[in-house]
Every structure is written in C-alpha cells, then in structure tokens.
Amino acid sequence: MQDIKVRLAPSPTGLFHIGSARTALFNWLVAKKYDGKFFVRIEDTDKERSKDEYMQSILDELKWIGLDHDDVSLQSNNIDRHRQVASEMLEKGLVYKCYLSAGEREKMRAENMKTGRALRSPWRNENNGLKIPENVEPSIRFRVHEGKTTLVDAILGETTIDNSTIEDFIILKPNGDPLYNFAVVVDDHDMEISHILRGSDHHTNSFKQALVYKSLNWEIPVLVHMPVILADDGKKMSKRTGGNTIQEIREMGILPTAFINYIVHLGWGYKDLEFMSTKEMIDLFEYTDINVSPAHWDGQKLLSFNAKYITQTDDDELVRLIVPILQDLLKKNSQETLLSLDDKLFLINIMPLLKVRAKTLVELANLILFYFVKGRLDIDEKNMKILYKSVKIGDTEDTVDSQFILKNVAEIIRSCSVLDEETIETKLNEFADKNGIKMRSISKFIYIALTFNEFGPPLYALITWLGKDRILNRITDLITIIDGK
RNA sequence: GUCCCCAUCGUCUAGAUGGCCUAGGACAUCAGAUUCUCAUUCUGAAAACACGGGUUCAAAUCCCGUUGGGGGCACCA
C-alpha cells in the first residue's frame, strides 16, 4: 500500500466540537492502522472569523482526547503558493478575472435559483464587450466546463452530477486571499495527502475540488465522506447550534476514553463489540466500513459509557481527576479549598463506594462534597419537605417526627465508645425495632443531616468517616433548622 | 426551489457475496431479584427491517417507484 497520509483540516472559527472530534478520530485511526501520518492543518484563510483562541482549542482538545498528530501547519502560511498556482491557472485559462459586483452577482444567483443552473459570470468570455471598472480588483473564478463530473467515494460510492449545477466558484478573493475549495486542493496535493476523510457535508464541495485537481492534472486522493452527526432535533450538529463543544464534554466530567469509545460508534460498529480500547479500535476499524446514513447524538448513551469507564478507572487516578473539581465546588460554596494529603488518601480509600454511583466526574465530586464542607450545604426544597413528614410507628396510627428521631440518633452516636460499622448498625437497628420504625425512615433523616441529601454512600460507613463531633454538630444543626421553620 | 445522499427497535448499531433472521447486541423504558438509602450487579419484558411493486424456489439483504429524513447550493470552511 502507498504511504498513508491523512489530515484534519479544521477552521479556527469556533471551539473544537463533537463532529470535528469524530473526524479527527477516524483520520487518526486510519493513520495508526496503516502506520501513516496524521497531520493537522488549521484552515485559517478567513481572517475575519479565525481566532487564535479557537486554534488553541483545537490543539488542546485533540490532546485531551488523546489523538497525537505528526505535524501542525497553518494554511495561511501557504498563501504565496496558492497565489502562484492561481496565476499559473490564469495563464492557462483555467480561471478568469471576474469584476462582477455584489449586486450583479446576487441578481444572477436569484435567477439561477429558478432555472437550477449555477452561476456563470459574463467575464468568463474573453470578448465580453464589458468595460473593466476602474479601481476594482477582480476576483478569480474557476472556469467550469460543460459536461458531467463523477466522484468515487469509499463510502458513498460513485456519484455523478452535471457541471451546470457547479458554479464558477471563486478561488481568489479580490484581495488575493485564497478560498476554501481552491486552497484545500493545493495544500492536500502539496502535502501528498492520500486519503481525505471528512464529513459528508463536504460532498458537493468535492465536485468543485475534483475539477481543480483535473485541470491541474493532479491525482485526487481517496475520498471518504462520512455521515454527519445529527443533534436531538434531527439537524446537523454544528458550531452554530451550540451545546456540543469538547470543552463542554470535558467540563461535564466525561472521561476522554469514554468519549472516544462512544463517538467511534457514531457511524461505525464492529459486530456486538461496544467497549474497546484504542488498540482494538485501530485493529478493527476500516474506513470502508463506515456507514452511509447519519447518526444521532445520544447524550444518555455517552453517560452510560462514561459510568462504565469510571468504575474501571483506578481509584487514585479518579481522585487525581476529581480534586480540582472538588476544589472548584468548595470555592463556589465559600469553603476552604485546600485538600490535604490525608484527604486524598481518604478519598482513594472510599472511592470504590463512590465510583459506582456517578455517571460523570462532576457527579463523583458532588457525591463526597459534604465531607469537606465546614458548615453545611443548602438543603433543597424536596429534602426539606421530607423533614416535616411524620413517621408512622408500626401498624398503629401513632407517629413520631424527625426531631424525635434525630435526637435519639444523636444520643446513640454519643453513647458509642467506638464508632465502627457493626456497632452503629446494631444500635440503630435496636432503636428502630424498639420504636417500631422502619430503618429507612430513620436513615433518610441521618442522610439529610450528614450529606444534606436524602441519600448518599452506605450509611454505616458514612458515619465512621465523619466521626462523632461532626455528626453531632450536623444533627443538632439540622434540628435547629427544623425548629426554626 | 434545486442538486446530491440516505432509510433495521425511541437512539447507536449487527446483519460479507439473498437462505443460518420467527432480525442479534447496547443505551433508554418497564417488571422482578440482590441490597442499610441511592447506586451497582443479575434476570426478564416490551420495542424495528418506512410503504408499494417487482426479480427469485427464497429478500432486511437485488431493481423500480412513493413517502420520509439529511446535506450542499458564499468574496465561510
């Protein structure tokens, strides 16, 4: 097989998003599988919309999802080369100078809409009888000839369109800046790109590009147009629709491995295999196996992948990942943000009890936030209501209230000489039996007192973590809150 | 509007050369079991070949049409 060279060619006009990430992944897989090269070429020729911060986002997020590349280049560095090729094309008559004004252009396009034919500038003919306007620089348009153009695509197969539907597209703006359909061809050719994997939203562009390749007698790389990813509303996911940047994915607390594993299945699958390592992906992936039809984004499934990956991640690694999140949460709650070495060791110890309960790293951090809080966290309305519901005693009509239970629990905790799980379990159950109250009726109040939520990590373990003083403080604190209402 | 593409459970998908498909897996949903809460885990249920014509002994798989969906149609990429 020839040398495999693939590239990701994002424009730095927005934060790196899901669609680009999958394109990057599929390109990367091809490069790795065939021991080829994976290039990143930032398509920054649109100076108006390109921003450095977006370029940084592309590079940062690629790193975060673990896709290493061989080289990064800026398309704007090749502008001289683009102009040179353009002038050669001008000499050969492949392109022409067009002085069409914006108004004239729009008018023509409106008419073309009706006939279904694409724009042909009057300036394409030498003897047009038109007078070159003064002080106006021309744009350079590609001369599309009559006929049909056929594209061979690894996924879409052979497609043909009539050239009358391809307009005489501009390759160079009046200021000399190259435009996408031209620059991309020159750069891909110069970089000896062997395979172009990109979203099928580029499919019709490929016809224009094919014309450029042919006019220059250049070889067209293998085209691989993968299906677009559709959002919940069934429309294409794009930078414009929002809510789908990798930054957001990362900030949600999604693991990059889980993310990659999820998106590899957007348009591709291997038998019944759901979870696979990147090594397996590289082995099993074939770009010819990519599906034709578009895939819908399913955030729920991403979450389930993430939950699975969290349970499989080492405890110390998870602690490393949630510490910054935890510090952030503490800061938001006006708490001290410093976590000691002991705190971290403690987290590693209890992580097995925590990680099965979280779908994201943020959820994971929130699960243990109560432990690091000095005073207390806000108790939401739903949980406040629980505190005011009386509890039935056995089969009788008699009831007790939350204060009664909390006061007794406090007494029990105080009376324990040692706080170990067994003692707590025995004593709490004794109390429950004696009063004819279900254990759950007791535990929900303890949870609210200690974790500020109606549920949490296993109760008896939880009590041993917090220790006598903090438990008693939190219970008495909660009782005052109840009394105060 | 026009050009191009597509069509398997709600969603992601498996389904080479038509027979092994009374269509498999996963997420979500529902029910049950396990469990000190919440989870996890386990078991089970419901859930799809868009429709209509062909071709064939045989079609989810091939052909045509209809309908539906998506993408493109820039001095953006």
Query: Which value does ipTM take for this structure?
Result: 0.95
Nearest-CA neighbor of A38 among A78, A56, A65?
Answer: A65
Residue A114 reports pLDDT greater than 80: no
- Which range among A59-73, A238-252, A333-347 has the greatest average pLDDT? A59-73
Mean pLDDT of A157-174: 95
| Minimum CA–C1' distance nucleotide for A301 | B27
- Can you give the pLDDT at residue A240? 55
Categorize the per-residue pLDDT at A132 as very low, low, confident or very high, splitting at 50, 70 and 90. confident
Q: Which residue is nearest to nucleotide B40 (CA to C1')?
A: A356
In the chain, the amino acid numbered A162 is D
Distance A266 CA to B54 C1' (A): 34
| Minimum CA–C1' distance nucleotide for A182 | B77
Asked if A332 and A420 sit in the same domain, the reply is no
Average predicted confidence (pLDDT) for chain A: 94
Answer yes or no: are the C-beta atoms of A263 and A256 closer than 8 Å. no
| Minimum CA–C1' distance nucleotide for A268 | B13
Mean pLDDT of A124-135: 84
Q: Which of A55-69, A384-398, A444-458 has the lowest mean pLDDT?
A: A384-398
Positive/negative CA dihedral, A234, A240, A246, A247: negative
Asked if A362 and A435 sit in the same domain, the reply is no
Q: Which of A126, A161, A179 is the last residue of a domain?
A: A179
Distance A291 CA to B22 C1' (A): 28
Task: Establish if A196 belongs to a structural domain.
Answer: no
Residue A126 reports pLDDT greater than 90: no
Answer yes or no: are the C-beta atoms of A319 and A351 closer than 8 Å. yes
Task: Establish if A429 belongs to a structural domain.
Answer: yes
Q: Which residue is nearest to nucleotide B72 (CA to C1')?
A: A204
Nearest-CA neighbor of A196 among A35, A34, A38, A11?
Answer: A38
Distance A37 CA to B6 C1' (A): 31
Nearest-CA neighbor of A182 among A153, A204, A213?
Answer: A213
- Can you give the pLDDT at residue A201? 95
Answer yes or no: are the C-beta atoms of A327 and A283 closer than 8 Å. no
**Phi, psi (rounded to 5 degrees) for A32:** -65, -40
Residue A242 reports pLDDT greater than 70: no
End-to-end C-alpha distance for chain A, whole angstroms: 77
Task: Establish if A216 belongs to a structural domain.
Answer: no
Q: Which nucleotides of B are covered by protein (CB under 7 A)?
A: 1-8, 10-15, 24-28, 36-41, 69-77
Would you tell me how many other CB atoms lie within 10 Å of the CB of residue A133?
10
Residue A2 reports pLDDT greater than 80: no
Distance A424 CA to B62 C1' (A): 71
Residue A113 reports pLDDT greater than 80: no
Helices A421-435/A439-451 angle, 10° precision: 130
| Minimum CA–C1' distance nucleotide for A440 | B37
Residue A368 reports pLDDT greater than 60: yes
d(CA A327, CA A367): 13
| Minimum CA–C1' distance nucleotide for A13 | B77
The kind and range of the H/E element at A80 are helix A79-91
For A83, half-sphere exposure in the C-beta direction (CA atoms, 13 angstrom radius) is 11
Mean pLDDT of A121-128: 86
Range of the domain at A404: 381-484
Structure tokens at A366: 């929130």
**Phi, psi (rounded to 5 degrees) for A120:** -125, 120
| Minimum CA–C1' distance nucleotide for A109 | B73
| Minimum CA–C1' distance nucleotide for A265 | B12
Would you tell me how many other CB atoms lie within 10 Å of the CB of residue A154?
18
Residue A224 DSSP code: E
Q: Which residue is nearest to nucleotide B39 (CA to C1')?
A: A357
Q: Which of A144, A159, A179 is the last residue of a domain?
A: A179
Asked if A479 and A385 sit in the same domain, the reply is yes
Task: Establish if A337 belongs to a structural domain.
Answer: yes
Mean pLDDT of A393-400: 83
d(CA A167, CA A163): 8
Distance A312 CA to B41 C1' (A): 14
Instruction: Output the domain CATH number for residue A138.
Output: 3.90.800.10
Distance A484 CA to B33 C1' (A): 43
Mean pLDDT of A435-451: 94
Task: Establish if A187 belongs to a structural domain.
Answer: no
Q: A206: alpha, beta or left, given left = phi > 0 and alpha = psi -120 to 50?
A: alpha
Nearest-CA neighbor of A221 among A185, A195, A197, A189?
Answer: A195
Please give the tally of structural domains in chain A: 3
Would you tell me how many other CB atoms lie within 10 Å of the CB of residue A315?
15
Distance A238 CA to B7 C1' (A): 23
Distance A272 CA to B18 C1' (A): 23
Mean pLDDT of A413-433: 92
Distance A353 CA to B69 C1' (A): 45
Task: Establish if A268 belongs to a structural domain.
Answer: no
Asked if A388 and A473 sit in the same domain, the reply is yes
Per-residue CA distances from A48 to A13, A139, A388, A481 (Å): 9, 18, 60, 57
d(CA A270, CA A276): 10
Task: Establish if A7 belongs to a structural domain.
Answer: no
**Percentage, residues of chain A above pLDDT 70:** 98
Contacts of residue A52, defined as CB under 8 A and 6 or more positions apart, other chains included, come to A12
Categorize the per-residue pLDDT at A85 as very low, low, confident or very high, splitting at 50, 70 and 90. very high
- Can you give the pLDDT at residue A335? 83
Mean pLDDT of A72-87: 97
- Can you give the pLDDT at residue A334? 83
Answer yes or no: are the C-beta atoms of A311 and A355 closer than 8 Å. yes
- Can you give the pLDDT at residue A129? 82
Residue A220 reports pLDDT greater than 60: yes
